[in-house]
Amino acid sequence: VTAFQWPVRVYYEDTDAGGVVYHTSYIRFLERARTEWLRALGYTQSKLNDEQHLLFSVVSLAMQYHSPARLDDLLNVGLTAHVSGGASVTFRQTIVRQADDVTLASGEVRVACLDSVTFKPRRLPEDLRKEFV
Amino acid sequence: VTAFQWPVRVYYEDTDAGGVVYHTSYIRFLERARTEWLRALGYTQSKLNDEQHLLFSVVSLAMQYHSPARLDDLLNVGLTAHVSGGASVTFRQTIVRQADDVTLASGEVRVACLDSVTFKPRRLPEDLRKEFV
Amino acid sequence: VTAFQWPVRVYYEDTDAGGVVYHTSYIRFLERARTEWLRALGYTQSKLNDEQHLLFSVVSLAMQYHSPARLDDLLNVGLTAHVSGGASVTFRQTIVRQADDVTLASGEVRVACLDSVTFKPRRLPEDLRKEFV
Amino acid sequence: VTAFQWPVRVYYEDTDAGGVVYHTSYIRFLERARTEWLRALGYTQSKLNDEQHLLFSVVSLAMQYHSPARLDDLLNVGLTAHVSGGASVTFRQTIVRQADDVTLASGEVRVACLDSVTFKPRRLPEDLRKEFV
């Protein structure tokens, strides 16, 4: 289990005519944090694909929306990573507004490790598995 | 319980560099079907907001991704609506590829009825509730 | 020169917290019309890529925003296609609100024909060129 | 004339099945830089709207795409601001890949200052105009 946080600013592109952040934008924010967590560990997805034909693919997700984020809000997207089997990782993630530390949304995202050519499940690389636990 | 289907075509805007539909795009497709289902029942969200200060807001969602959709695929987005309490509706939704009838993704989305001024829960209008059951 | 129209409905996903359609959403709408125009002529971009390694890529665009589209608006996206040289097409496009026939936005988009492996310019296929003129 | 730069990382959400950044994503990146430039000057659009009913709206834009950005690229989005009349600003913007300093796209975006209630043009606030020149 590792903990990681990534800041996200809300722009117009993330909002909708309800005046708040559009419900799928939060899910994009979750992925940015997962991507930056990988990068902080020394992995970039484009290299993993180019060099090892390894792709991460979202298998399932669950989101709970507690309170809306708004234009110009600065958010913290947090995650903990939990290996579930040899070929997938489950991320527990939260989106917190920095100004008052209120949790606006929380989610659980299961990501499978796939071969980018065959799209078949692939065992997570050992050096990556070590980082997860 | 009502059943409804809405066709969605996959464009470049919906895909990502993995070569398939981006995982949040499916969730936008689910909303299009819910919106068109409301429209088929005679309700448009902009009018509900303007005339009755009534807003629908996603409270929670769960998605399962079974198989990827690709550029140019024609999809059918289906839903059944289940009233859960007086102020929210749960939609069970599927995304099926028309060419071979394979279910690519399925989801459950809970939507709350809110006052668009106070953002407080509002009882679903009686005439709308009748349509749901 | 050919003329073509494609209807587009505005959903929440297309809007922003300004209460109107987000400025880049119109540009996605333009691409939908170009894609459906190609499809109407018998071409799908995924097949052109798979079978002929042929890719269309936007080289430049110019947009003029006249009046905002809003949630639930039904739009007509029109185009005329003008071959400009052997390896590119210029589309003149408009976005018109169906309810009152007001032109909300207009644009000019130049699209190059590329080899999807080398990313180098490719002459438009002769059978496609015939359709353009 | 002022100069400003803002870094943007490319995520999956920004790419398309062509394997590169989707052509409208660059235009979202341009807006992020404009927003952060305003923020660096002490202005946030949500406050300008809430407190002064002042809204910025894109009137026209022109984009040139020179070379594609890819997943995981780190970009610099630059701008210079040019007041054009009393109620609008023209931004000249570039998107440069940090790794090799290559300019991938350049654009010109004209933004009008509007009253957010009437949607009519509004003179740029004097204290903001001073910053522009």
DSSP D90-119: EEEEEEEETTTTEEEEEEEEEEEEEETTT-
The SS3 of residue B126 is helix
Q: Which pLDDT band holds residue B27 (cuts at 50, 70, 90)?
A: very high
List strand residue ranges (DSSP E) for C3-129, in order: 3-9, 54-65, 74-83, 88-97, 102-115
Q: Which residues lie closer than 8 Å to D124 by C-beta, 6 or more apart?
A: D83, D86, D87, D88, D89, D113, D132
> A6-20: per-residue pLDDT in tens?
999 999 999 999 999
Q: What is the mean pLDDT of residues A34-51?
A: 93
Please answer whether residues C80 and C94 qualify as being in contact, where contact means their C-beta atoms are separated by less than 8 angstroms.
Answer: no
> B109-118: per-residue pLDDT in tens?
999 999 988 8
The predicted pLDDT at position B2 comes to: 56
Please answer whether residues B105 and B92 qualify as being in contact, where contact means their C-beta atoms are separated by less than 8 angstroms.
Answer: no
List the single residue in C with minimal CA-CA distance to D104.
C59
Q: Which pLDDT band holds residue D129 (cuts at 50, 70, 90)?
A: confident
Q: Which residues lie closer than 8 Å to B55 by C-beta, 6 or more apart?
A: A18, B45, B48, B49, B113, B114, B115, B116, B119
CB contacts < 8 Å between A and D, how many?
40
Amino acid sitting at position C79: L
Q: Which pLDDT band holds residue C76 (cuts at 50, 70, 90)?
A: very high
In which residue are the tokens 């409301």 written? B38
Please say whether the dihedral angle defined by the alpha carbons of residues D3, D8, D14 and D19, taken in this order, is positive or negative: positive
Please give the C-alpha separations between residue D108 and each of A11, C90, C115, C121, D48, in angstroms, as whole numbers: 20, 19, 29, 25, 23
Q: Which pLDDT band holds residue D2 (cuts at 50, 70, 90)?
A: low
The predicted pLDDT at position D133 comes to: 56
> A73-126: per-residue pLDDT in tens?
999 999 999 887 889 999 999 999 999 999 999 999 999 999 988 889 999 888
For D18, the closest of B12, B20, B22 (CB atoms) is B12
Q: Which residues of A touch B31 (CB under 8 A)?
A: 23
Chains sharing 3 or more CB pairs under 8 A with chain A: B, C, D
Helices (H), chain C: 25-40, 45-52, 126-132
Q: First-to-last CA distance in chain B?
A: 5
Confidence check: pLDDT of B69 > 90: yes
The predicted pLDDT at position B110 comes to: 97
Closest CA to B96 of B117, B126, B76, B70: B76
The predicted pLDDT at position D27 comes to: 98
List the single residue in D with minimal CA-CA distance to B70.
D17
DSSP state of A53: -
**Alpha-carbon distance D6 to nearest alpha carbon in chain B (angstroms):** 24
CA distance B1 to B3: 7
Of D67 and D86, more confident: D67
Rg of chain D taking only CA atoms, in angstroms: 15
The SS3 of residue A92 is strand
Does D57 touch chain C if contact means CB atoms closer than 8 Å? yes
The predicted pLDDT at position A57 comes to: 95
For C58, the closest of D28, D46, D65 (CB atoms) is D65
The predicted pLDDT at position C124 comes to: 86
Does C72 touch chain A if contact means CB atoms closer than 8 Å? no
Closest CA to D132 of D101, D88, D74: D88
Please provide residue D5's backbone torsions phi and psi, each rounded to the nearest 5 degrees: -135, 145
Q: Which pLDDT band holds residue B125 (cuts at 50, 70, 90)?
A: confident
Q: What is the mean pLDDT of residues B66-85?
A: 94
CA distance A40 to A33: 10
Confidence check: pLDDT of C130 > 80: no
Known active-site residue A16: yes
DSSP state of A8: E
Burial of D65 (0-12, 13-18, 19+ CB in 10 A): buried
> A74-86: per-residue pLDDT in tens?
999 999 998 878 8
Closest CA to D114 of C58, A116, C18, B36: C18
Please give the C-alpha separations between residue C89 and each of C79, C122, C128, C129, in angstroms, as whole numbers: 12, 12, 11, 9
Task: Count other C-beta atoms under 10 Å from residue A88's C-beta.
Answer: 19
In this prediction, does ipTM exceed 0.90?
A: yes
The predicted pLDDT at position B3 comes to: 86
